[in-house]
Amino acid sequence: MLQDLLSRAEDLDAADPLASFRSRFHMPQKDGRDVLYFTGNSLGLQPVAAQASVDLELEDWRVWGVDGHLRSRNPWFSYHRMFKEPLAAIVGALPHEVVAMNTLTVNLHLMMISFYRPTATRYKILIAGHEFPSDRYAVESQLRLHGHDVEQAMIELEPAPGTFELSDAQITEAIREHADSLALVLFSGVHYYTGQFFNLKMIADAAHAVGANVGFDLAHAAGNVQVNLHDSGADFAVWCSYKYLNSGPGGVGGAFIHERHADRADLVRLAGWWGNDEATRFQMAHAFQPTYGADGWQLSNAQILPMAAHKASLDLFTEAGMDRISAKRDALTGFAYDVITEIFGTRTDVRIITPADPARRGAQLSLQFDVHGRAVFDALTARGIVVDWRNPDVIRVAPAPLYNRFADVAAFGRHLAEVLQEVA
Ligand SMILES: *Cc1c(COP(=O)(O)O)cnc(C)c1O
C-alpha cells in the first residue's frame, strides 16, 4: 500500500503545471547533493533572480548616489508602489489596502496602536492558545501600554482536551462570551504550531458583531493559502516575507488595512514622513497629512535592498498565480498527509495534529511524538532532510508548492519509515 502510494509521485510530478518553478530557486546542498527541503514555512528558498535584482539596485546606487531616488531604473522614491499589485493578488486585497514595509512584529505594533483602542470596559484581546511568542509579547506589551492587566485582559483560546483544532463554534462562543469587554480579536491565518488554517471571514464577522476590531497575523498564511483579506472584512493584517514568500532572512514585512479605514485621519497612528501625503511630504514643517490607504501607515523611506529580493520573489508568485499555487499545495500536502498516515499506521504514540480537512490547513503538517520525537528529528536531519523541531514535541514538515516535488515527499516518506524503525 505504501509502495503503491509512493510510486505515484513520478506521475504526479509529470502532470504538475508548476514543476518548472523548482529550477527558479537555489536548493541548498548537503554532501554534494540537494537536501530535501521542507522548511519553506520558516525560511523560504532563494529565487535565482534575487541576486540580479539586488545587484541592480547596488549598481544604480553606485552610479547615481542620491540622484537614484528619482533617476534609478526603479526609482527609490516610489519603490514601494511596485509591491501593491502583486501583494494584493497574494492576500486577496485591493492594491491601496496593502503596503510592503518594516517587519512583522513592528507592523503588528503599528496596527495595534491604531486598532486596539481600549476603553475602561472594552479592553480584552482574544488570541489563539500556544501562539507564537512574538505575537504574545506584542499583545502583552500593548496591554501594559494601556495600563491593563495581562492576566485579565489577554484571553487565550485552547483546543478542547484531547483535540488539536479550534472549532469554529468554540471561537464564536468565546467571542460572544466576552462580547462587551472585547476590544480586539487577533488571530493567525495559519497557526504556526498546529498548521490549522482558520476561517478568517467567520472570525471577522463574529468579532464585528460584538463591536470588536479584528486583525490577522499572516506569517504562515501569506503565499501559502488564499486568505481573501478584503472580503474577510478584517480591519488589518500583517505578515513577513521570508517564509512562504521567499524574500530572504529578515526581509521586508507587509500590512493590510481595510479600505473602510483608508482615509480615516481620525485614527490614532504612529506617524512618519513616508506616510504623509506625497504632495506635502517635503514641506518639512507641515502638519502630518496621512496619505490614502495602507501607505499612510508607512514611517520611513523604503528599504530598497531587502525589497529588491522581495520583488524578485513576488514576480514568481505573479507568474505562477495563487490559484495554481493553491491547487498544487492541496495536492502536494494531501499526498504528504496520505504517505505519513500510511507510515504511522496503527501506532498510537505519533499523530498528525494538523487538520485532516484540506480546507482547514495550508502546506504544513505538524507531526506530534509522545516519545523519541527529537531522535527522529535528528536522524532525519542527518539524512539531509530539512524539517524543523518545535518544542515540546512537534516536527513540522511543509512542502512548498513552488519548489517541492511529489518525488521529494515520496523520498521523505521512505526516510521517515526507516527512521521510525531505527529509533523504535
Ligand atoms: C515568523 C513569525 C513571526 C516573526 O516575526 P518577525 O517580526 O518577522 O521576526 C511572528 N509571528 C508569527 C506568528 C510568526 O510565525
* Chain-centroid distance, C-alpha 259: 21
The answer to whether the CB of 104 is under 6 A from ligand 1 is: yes
Looking at residue 91, its pLDDT comes to 98
C-alpha 134/C-alpha 108 separation (Å) is 10
Q: Which residues contact 378 (CB under 8 A, 6 or more apart)?
A: none
245 and 337 part of one domain: no
**Cα Rg of the chain, angstroms:** 22
134 lines ligand 1 (CB under 6 A): yes
Q: Give the per-residue pLDDT at 403.
A: 98
Based on the fold, state whether residues 68 and 165 are members of the same structural domain. yes
Pair 326, 362 in one domain:
yes
- 393 and 291 co-located in one domain: no
Angle at 97 between CA 96 and CA 101, to 5 degrees: 95
Looking at residue 13, which CATH number applies to its domain? 3.90.1150.10
**284: helix, coil or strand?**
coil
Of 302, 318, 334, the domain-final residue: 318
| CATH at 250 | 3.40.640.10
Between the two ends of the chain, the Cα-to-Cα distance in Å is 22
H or E segment at 366?
strand 365-369
Domain range enclosing 413: 2-46+322-423
Residues in the chain: 424
Smallest CA separation from ligand 1 atom 1, residue: 219
Q: Is the CB of 245 under 6 A from ligand 1?
A: no
**What are the Cα distances from residue 46, in Å, to 40, 53, 120, 238, 244?**
10, 12, 48, 22, 11
Query: In this structure, are 20 and 39 located in the same domain?
Result: yes
Helix (H, G, I), strand (E, B) or coil at 33: strand
Which distant-in-sequence residues (6+ apart) come within 8 Å of 78 by Cβ? none
Decide the pairing of beta strands 124-128 and 154-157.
Answer: parallel
Report yes or no: 188 and 128 within 8 Å, Cβ to Cβ: yes
Question: Residue 149 phi/psi, 5° resolution?
Answer: -85, 120
The neighbouring-strand residues paired with 33 are 30
User: Phi and psi for 47 in degrees, rounded to 5?
Assistant: -65, 140
Residue 121 to residues 5, 92, 148, 308, Cα–Cα distance (Å): 57, 34, 11, 45
What CA–CA distance (Å, rounded) separates 363 from 371?
25
- 33-34 and 36-37 strand pairing: unpaired
Q: Give the residue whose CA is nearest to atom 4 of ligand 1.
A: 104
Residue numbers in the chain where pLDDT is lower than 50:
none
User: Cell for 338?
Assistant: 496520505
* Residue of 104, 220, 242, 303 to mutate, ligand 1, most atoms within 8 A of C-beta: 104
Q: Are 9 and 113 part of one and the same domain?
A: no
End of a domain among 268, 288, 318? 318
Euclidean distance between CA atoms 348 and 290, whole angstroms: 57
State whether 20 and 75 are in the same domain: no
Nearest-CA residue for atom 2 of ligand 1: 219
| DSSP-based three-state secondary structure for 253 | coil
Please tell me whether residues 77 and 13 are part of one structural domain.
no
Biggest alpha carbon distance in the chain?
Answer: 73
> In the Cβ-directed half-sphere of 63, how many Cα atoms lie within 13 Å?
11
Question: 107 and 9, same structural domain?
Answer: no
Predicted TM-score of the model (pTM): 0.97
Instruction: Compute, in angstroms, the gap from residue 242 CA to the centroid of ligand 1.
Output: 10
Does 289 share its domain with 416? no
Last residue of a domain, one of 262, 285, 318: 318
Structural domains of the chain, count: 2
Are 219 and 340 found together in one domain?
no
Q: Which pLDDT score, from 0 to 100, does residue 171 have?
A: 97
Q: Quote the pLDDT of residue 279.
A: 83
Residue 104 and residue 233 in one domain: yes
239 Cα: distance to centroid of ligand 1 (angstroms): 8
